[in-house]
Amino acid sequence: MPTLVVTHWQTPAVVARIEREFTPRYNTLGRPYTQDELLAAADGADALFVSSADKLDARFFQLLPASVRVISTFSVGYEHVDRAAAAAAGIPVGYTPDVLNDATADIALLLLLGASRRAFEAQQLVRSGEWATRGTAHLLGWGITGKRLGIFGMGRIGRAVAQRARAFGMTIHYYNRTQLPPQMEEGAVYHASAESLLRVSDFLSLNAPNSPATRHFLNAETLAMLPHGAIVVNTARGGLVDDETLIAALKSGQVAAAGLDVFEGEPKINPGYADLPNTFLLPHIGSATVETRTAMGMLALDNIVAVLEGKPAPSLLPPPA
Ligand code: DGY
């Protein structure tokens, strides 16, 4: 059976398949491998089953043992993979799109509601026992029905967010590099520029990949374009946000509240967020359901098995632009 390096925890169903189809080498360190530890573990292995915590850069592909024929990442995001270096080394890299769309969109709505209904402060009030001392004027949030939701990045997850938000009576606006056909827009209003989208976004959901083009998309200049008191949610990547400027906007009231599942430099986060009552913060759990994590694991393994058997793989990373 092929030898597979597994760098992170998997659900029981995925582990059972790994045990059936591979000779596994698990990371048992209780933390992500360093790059050198991963390279050492890869020595003599046929395939690597990695996550977005594993940095696969040019150095990694230069030093990758020749035994390795395929890598699959347990994520839809792939900014941790140097695709040009992978292509130069002749290593196909699989990833796990689509299977996490619903779970991630659910978390976007949780953030949207959590931020707009001041869920963090409300939780504190109940848990601290201070509830009884507060009157009815306390903890008034901001309604979402009839409001405009701007979606920055109308890919598969963005569209799943739109579908859910419509059910809450929100009007959907979006920016994307290209306009979607009407059957995919489902009535959403297209904006040809991000600036135009920002100006109408009572709520803003970030759903674009992290790339040099989107890095710090939300910054002092773009935050100022939002309607005063807008609410921002991010389930994409922390790198889309310039943290200091968002924190300043949360303090000034330009942004009324933010719901964040992803952070630049996570798991270390800018401490300014934790100090603010108007933030609703989650530890990157967009895809964290048993069903979704199992589907992601199975798809990652499907990619590996297909390449090892010389068959077309279901989801390999697109070639570099
Ligand atoms: C993904 O799949 O990219 C999720 O954000 C988990 O990293």
CATH number assigned to the domain comprising residue 150: 3.40.50.720
Q: How far apart are CA 317 and CA 311, in angstroms?
A: 16
User: How many structural domains is the chain composed of?
Assistant: 2
pLDDT of residue 276: 98
Q: How far is CA 149 from the centre of its chain?
A: 19
Show the ligand 1 pocket: residues with CB < 6 angstroms: 52, 75-77, 100, 286-287
Residue 212 Cα, ligand 1 centroid: separation in angstroms? 18
pLDDT at 230 over 90: yes
Annotated catalytic, 237? Answer: yes
Assess contact for 82 and 109: CB atoms under 8 A. Answer: no
Marked catalytic residue, from 284, 291, 293, 309: 284
* 121: its two tokens: 């402060």
Report yes or no on 313 lying in a domain: no
Residue 188 Cα, ligand 1 centroid: separation in angstroms? 26
Query: Do 16 and 125 reside in the same domain of the chain?
Result: no
Cα angle 228, 145, 199; round to 5: 30
Report yes or no on 272 lying in a domain: yes
- Residues in a beta bridge with 259: 233, 280
Read off the pLDDT of residues 69-80 as tens digits, 9 standing for 90 and up.
999 999 999 999
pLDDT band at 290 (very low <50, low <70, confident <90, very high): very high
| Number of C-beta neighbours around residue 291 at 10 A | 14
pLDDT of residue 136: 64
Summary mean pLDDT of the chain: 97
Residues of the domain holding 81: 3-99+289-308
Marked catalytic residue, from 266, 291, 293, 309: 266
pLDDT at 100 over 70: yes
pLDDT of residue 137: 66
Question: Could you tell me the end-to-end alpha-carbon distance of the chain, in angstroms, rounded to an integer?
Answer: 35
Closest ligand 1 atom to Cα of 100: 2
Q: Whose C-alpha lies nearest to ligand 1, atom 1?
A: 75
Residue 80 Cα, ligand 1 centroid: separation in angstroms? 11
- Residues in a beta bridge with 303: none
Report yes or no on 316 lying in a domain: no
Query: Do 87 and 170 reside in the same domain of the chain?
Result: no
Query: Do 198 and 251 reside in the same domain of the chain?
Result: yes
Read off the pLDDT of residues 257-271 as tens digits, 9 standing for 90 and up.
999 999 999 999 999
Read off the pLDDT of residues 232-251 as tens digits, 9 standing for 90 and up.
999 999 999 999 999 999 99
Report yes or no on 245 lying in a domain: yes
Query: Do 234 and 145 reside in the same domain of the chain?
Result: yes
